Copies of this chain bind each other. A is one copy, B any other.
Amino acid sequence: MLSSIALFPIQTTARDEAVLNALVDFVAREGLMPGDRLPTERILSERLRVSRTTVREALTRWEGLGLVERRQGSGTYLKAAVSRDMLHLPLTLASGSTFRSLMDTLDIRRALEPEATALCALRAGPKELAFILEKLERMEEAFHARKGMSADEDWDFHQAIYEASGNPLFVQIIAAMHGMFHRFWEHPLGVADFGHASFRFHRIIYERVADHDPDGARAETLKLIATVEADLRRGAANLKLTDRT
């Protein structure tokens, strides 16, 4: 960005970082896409003239950032696009499995999801709308088949909307909040009809988005989250979730 500034960090030794830079270049040159397989550790070690240990440390870094996935016996696969000047902000959210923590994630969702949906209503084109509709119908199908909300299909629908917002940060942050939420609430926790109240809002939200009605989309998303909060409060009352600080 600031190409006029020609200062570089003093580089005494930074082997693994150099390995990653070389790997970025390689991926760019070969036009590798997410899902493609990277060269084996032994090949990289040989070609880059560094020990396999160093290659592994570098790849461990990328794996920690979710950029790469290692499968023993198979290989190392690219999971996301990489570039030299991409910005990884590792954000560690320490959170216990307390009622308060779950409510905290809802605070974030209450702030982000309505805005993301509103942006989607503004920006989604026919192609994105078709994709969202497909996810919606798949979710409704699963709901009727299993007589209840299916977390996977539900998330697929929302993810489709947030991806259509055009801002990748929404997807990443909201996904983390969902993950945190469902990690401690894998089961309906005594709430038999968990998610039932939210069902009807999905199609309404889709319609608002399809109508390019950002305010309506925002309002309906807010209602949906309110149903989630109500479910959570019922669950907390049932099980008397206690703090484990």
A93→B108 CA distance, assembly (Å): 17
A2→B95 CA distance, assembly (Å): 14
A245→B104 CA distance, assembly (Å): 35
CB distance from A203 to the nearest CB of B (A): 24
Q: Report if A88 contacts B (CB, 8 A).
A: yes
Q: Report if A168 contacts B (CB, 8 A).
A: yes
**How many copies of the polypeptide does the oligomer hold?**
2
Contacts of A177 in B (CB 8 A): 169
Known A60-B57, A60-B60, A108-B112: A90·B87 in contact at CB below 8 Å? no
Count of A residues near B, CB < 8 Å? 59
Complex contact A89–B93 (CB within 8 A): yes
Complex contact B90–A94 (CB within 8 A): no
Chain B CB within 10 A, most for which of A94, A170, A172, A184 = A94
From A185, which residue of chain B is reached at the shortest CB distance? B1
A152→B82 CA distance, assembly (Å): 29
A176→B90 CA distance, assembly (Å): 8
Across the interface, A105 reaches (CB within 8 A) one of B115, B169, B187, namely B169
Known A1-B241, A108-B170, A115-B107: A85·B95 in contact at CB below 8 Å? yes
Chain B CB within 10 A, most for which of A64, A80, A187 = A64
Complex contact B111–A97 (CB within 8 A): no
From A107, which residue of chain B is reached at the shortest CB distance? B167
Complex contact A180–B60 (CB within 8 A): no
Known A81-B94, A112-B111: A89·B176 in contact at CB below 8 Å? yes
Excluding A1-B98, A89-B172, 13 further A-B contacts by CB distance (< 8 Å) are A66-B92, A85-B94, A85-B97, A85-B244, A86-B95, A87-B180, A87-B183, A89-B180, A91-B173, A92-B172, A104-B167, A108-B169, A111-B115
Spell out A's residues near B (CB within 8 Å). 1-2, 53, 56-57, 60-61, 63-67, 80-83, 85-98, 101, 104-105, 107-108, 110-112, 114-116, 119, 165, 167-170, 172-173, 176-177, 179-180, 183-184, 186-187, 241, 244
